[in-house]
């Protein structure tokens, strides 16, 4: 069993850092381009831009962010297994502590700027 999503991306679309709880996944870029960033403890996030025909995958343990890249709209196909039931969105408190906020897969992901954003 798996879950598949087709996502359309425009200039300001950005998931913020998130995980997929117990689901692994793969993404294929159908049109346009997106940038994926992986959270890294030993430095800045690892970044790559993926264009038409490119793919990337992630494990349940990965914390990443996806956002629109380029000037044209983008379309990506996301496949999750086991089916996506919940996710975690991340924010960094003013004291530097990373905080995970559980979210339903029906909620739109967005960047969380501080722990105070978790209640909205």
Domain 3-85 has CATH 2.60.120.10: yes
DSSP 6-53: EEEE-TT-B--SEE-TT-EEEEEEEESEEEEEE--TTSSPEEEEEETT
39-81 per-position pLDDT tens digit: 988 888 999 999 999 999 999 999 999 999 999 999 999 999 9
118 falls in which pLDDT band (50, 70, 90)? very low
Q: What is the mean pLDDT of residues 78-98?
A: 92
Q: What's the rounded Cα separation, in Å, for the pair 77 and 4?
A: 7
Q: What is the pTM of this model?
A: 0.87
**Among residues 3, 59, 7, 14, which one has the least CA distance to residue 36?**
14
| Range from 21-25, 28-32, 116-120 carrying the lowest mean pLDDT | 116-120
Tell me the C-alpha distance between 111 and 120, whole Å.
Answer: 12
Enumerate the domain spans of the chain. 3-85
Distance CA 15, CA 86 (A): 14
Handedness of CA 97, 35, 9, 86 (dihedral sign): negative
């Amino acid at each position: 069993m798996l879950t598949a999503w087709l996502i359309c991306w425009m200039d300001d679309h950005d998931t913020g850092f998130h995980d997929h709880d117990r689901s692994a996944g793969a993404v294929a870029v159908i049109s346009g381009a997106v940038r994926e960033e992986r959270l890294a403890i030993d430095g800045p996030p690892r970044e790559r831009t993926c264009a038409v025909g490119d793919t990337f995958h992630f494990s349940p343990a990965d914390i990443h962010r996806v956002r629109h890249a380029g000037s044209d709209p983008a379309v990506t196909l996301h496949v999750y297994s086991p089916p996506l039931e919940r996710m975690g969105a991340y924010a960094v408190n003013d004291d530097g502590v990373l905080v995970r906020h559980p979210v339903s897969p029906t909620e739109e992901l967005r960047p969380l700027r501080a722990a105070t954003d978790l209640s909205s």
